[in-house]
Copies of this chain bind each other. A is one copy, B any other.
Amino acid sequence: MSKTSTVFKQAYNRCLALLAARDCLPSEPELCLALGVSRTTVRTILAHMAESGIIRWDKRSKVRLREPGAGDFFPAGETDSPAEIIERSFMRLLLAQGVEPGTHITEVELAREIGVGTGSLREFLIRFSRFGLIEKRPNGRWMFKGFTRDFALELTEIREMFELRSALAFVELGEASPAWVALDAMETEHVGFADAIALRYVDFSELDERFHRLIHNASRNRFIVDFYDVIAMIFHYHYQWNKADGRERNAVAVNEHLAYIDALKSRDRARVTTACQAHLKSARATLLRSLPRTVV
């Protein structure tokens, strides 16, 4: 097979949504900007819409013939790129399903199971191997190390080491650093969350990630910043499938963050150390508590 047409399908769906609010479409270059794709793709979309009888397309006139229905959209499964499909399927396998540590698997087998080409899968596995959850074995085999208690402990050990160092580097930032402004903005966001926590608790993980990234950036060390990718991905997927006591957990985290922000603003290294360690300790406890039951 050849390259998948997810760019086209996604843009097509977005274009249909766009059409719902208007009775004709703008010029091709304008559509390129609006949809974020090339003109080639825009023209493919227009041709497809004309063929489906949604618009009449003749040169510059692109008139809507009928209201686009639910059946005109490409289904959700088709609009995902192989990379997205792989990441989701793989993380589900790893975190939600909980693969036994030590399980071996071949690329071809996994590719067939997920329904993608071996090339895309291999690329993902190589990229993913730096997360320390899989290992390349001779003869193109991969070993799942499992999302174990050991993994969680090793991950949090590095996280605590890096974040404390970053937090202390944060304190040393000059008065003029934009990070202080960003920190203030985040404090406000956190306060907002504390009020509406019950309603929007799922969105908190996004704010959480931004908050910790802001701190890690203060280290001005690419290895520390990059390492947060590992943490962010694990937490993102892990919490997505373990929402059990998310509400209470996030309420606690918001308060810890606020104390942490307060400490940072005080520029007091001892206070920062205390607040940072307190928050990371509770984050570690949460992670450990929600480990898959199958592992020791």
Question: Cβ of A158: which chain B residues have Cβ within 8 Å of it?
Answer: 221, 223-224
- Binary interface profile of A, 215-235, with partner B (CB < 8 Å = 1, else 0)? 000001111101100000000
- Binary interface profile of A, 113-150, with partner B (CB < 8 Å = 1, else 0)? 00000010011001101101000000000000100000
Tell me how many chains of this kind the complex includes. Answer: 2
How long is the Cα–Cα vector from A122 to B127 in the complex, in angstroms?
A: 11
- Tell whether A155 is near chain B: CB-to-CB under 8 Å: yes
Instruction: Write the chain B residue with the least CB distance to A229.
Output: B130
How long is the Cα–Cα vector from A161 to B154 in the complex, in angstroms?
A: 15
Instruction: Write the chain B residue with the least CB distance to A129.
Output: B127
How long is the Cα–Cα vector from A4 to B158 in the complex, in angstroms?
A: 40
- Tell whether A269 is near chain B: CB-to-CB under 8 Å: no
Question: Cβ of A155: which chain B residues have Cβ within 8 Å of it?
Answer: 223
How long is the Cα–Cα vector from A296 to B48 in the complex, in angstroms?
A: 54
Question: Cβ of A123: which chain B residues have Cβ within 8 Å of it?
Answer: 122-123, 126
Q: Are B161 and A165 in contact (CB under 8 A)?
A: yes
Q: Are A154 and B119 in contact (CB under 8 A)?
A: no
Name A222's contact: one of B132, B220, B221 (CB within 8 Å): B132
Closest chain-B Cβ to A143's Cβ sits at a distance in Å of: 13
Closest chain-B Cβ to A81's Cβ sits at a distance in Å of: 13
- Tell whether A268 is near chain B: CB-to-CB under 8 Å: no
Q: Are A130 and B130 in contact (CB under 8 A)?
A: yes
How long is the Cα–Cα vector from A227 to B130 in the complex, in angstroms?
A: 10
- Tell whether A157 is near chain B: CB-to-CB under 8 Å: yes
- Binary interface profile of A, 37-76, with partner B (CB < 8 Å = 1, else 0)? 0000000000000000000000000000000000000000
Closest chain-B Cβ to A269's Cβ sits at a distance in Å of: 17
Q: Are B130 and A221 in contact (CB under 8 A)?
A: no
Question: Cβ of A122: which chain B residues have Cβ within 8 Å of it?
Answer: 123
Closest chain-B Cβ to A31's Cβ sits at a distance in Å of: 20
How long is the Cα–Cα vector from A165 to B157 in the complex, in angstroms?
A: 11
How long is the Cα–Cα vector from A127 to B220 in the complex, in angstroms?
A: 23
What is the interface of chain A, defined by CB distance below 8 A to chain B?
119, 122-123, 126-127, 129-130, 132, 145, 151, 154-155, 157-158, 161, 165, 220-224, 226-227
Listed A/B pairs (5) with beta-carbon separation below 8 Å: A130-B226, A145-B222, A154-B221, A154-B222, A161-B165
19 further A-B contacts with Cβ under 8 Å, apart from A132-B223, A157-B221, A161-B165, are A119-B119, A122-B123, A123-B123, A123-B126, A126-B126, A126-B127, A130-B130, A130-B226, A132-B222, A132-B226, A154-B221, A154-B223, A155-B223, A157-B223, A158-B221, A158-B223, A158-B224, A161-B161, A223-B227
